[in-house]
Amino acid sequence: EGEEGGRGVMGTVGGLIGDVFNFFDSTPREERITKQFLQGSQAAKREMETKGGKFYSEGMMETLARLAEKIDNVLDEKYPNGAFVRLNLRSPKDSCVNTQAMMSSLISQVASSSLPAPSSSSSSSSPPSSSSSSEKEDLALAIENTIIYLTALCSSLKIKARETKEGDKSGEEEGGRFAVWLLGSSLRVYQDLTRVRLHEQMGRVQLILREWSDDLNTIWEFRSFVYNNQMTAISQYHSGTYVPEILDKKTRNSRLHEGGF
């Protein structure tokens, strides 16, 4: 059910999601769970508009429980080393910063890196020539800190297969229940589900489980713009983070992306 702050959003998502009725393979490394939505459902609408009352029904929670169970089955059969969960529209990447518990986990991971604090030697009274070295060091440190943070952010989205070790209290952050909680506490997912419900021409929404790879570096993530099966543009996903290697290998990266189309 997630933390108290996410219960309302979870209930709203539960009101929008219909019964899970079909599994099928998209690729050898993907499983898609197709969902129908309660199109024009007055009951769901009333649930969404409820303020201060019981925000979700037993039926909604039963649907989410079935979804969690199906995700557990896929994890056990296909992805024992973990998976990444997302909709075919967007992923719940914002979930890990929606609650204090998740943010504390991220801060802990960043703090455990033992990186030194930025130097305080550069000040407004120092000549630019004498502070240039410190500024470069601070820039490099800021880049490294940001990369560590983003890596921790993404790693917190890993859906682990359930474990039954005695005394292990990490079960709440494992398996289908955690996947459903991530989806239910994501504003991005809520917005996408709402758009689909209001605009039927957007088609059906699908839930995707993709095999997790610890070798993938989140910094090397790009947005590719494609028209008529032709690459038209590429942009850095984390555009606010300056990574010298990306600029240095711009031509190589472009060729690699174009080779996929």
Ranked by mean pLDDT, the top range of 18-22, 184-188, 215-219 is 184-188
> Where are the alpha helices (H) located in the chain, listed in sequence order?
7-16, 42-49, 58-77, 100-111, 128-155, 175-184, 187-198, 244-248, 250-258
Q: Is the pLDDT of residue 51 over 50?
A: no
Mean local confidence (pLDDT), 68-95? 90
Average per-residue pLDDT for the chain: 67
Using the CB atoms, write b or e for 168-200: b if 16+ within 10 Å.
eeeeebbbbbbbbbbbbbbebbbebbeebbeee
Q: How far apart are CA 116 and CA 140, in angstroms?
A: 12
Q: Where are the domains of the chain?
A: 1-93+157-214, 103-154, 217-261
Q: Is the pLDDT of residue 22 over 90?
A: no
Q: Is the pLDDT of residue 260 over 70?
A: no
Residue 167 confidence (pLDDT): 42
126 or 114: which leads in pLDDT: 114
Q: Is the pLDDT of residue 198 over 70?
A: yes
Q: Is the pLDDT of residue 179 over 70?
A: yes
Mean local confidence (pLDDT), 132-140? 76
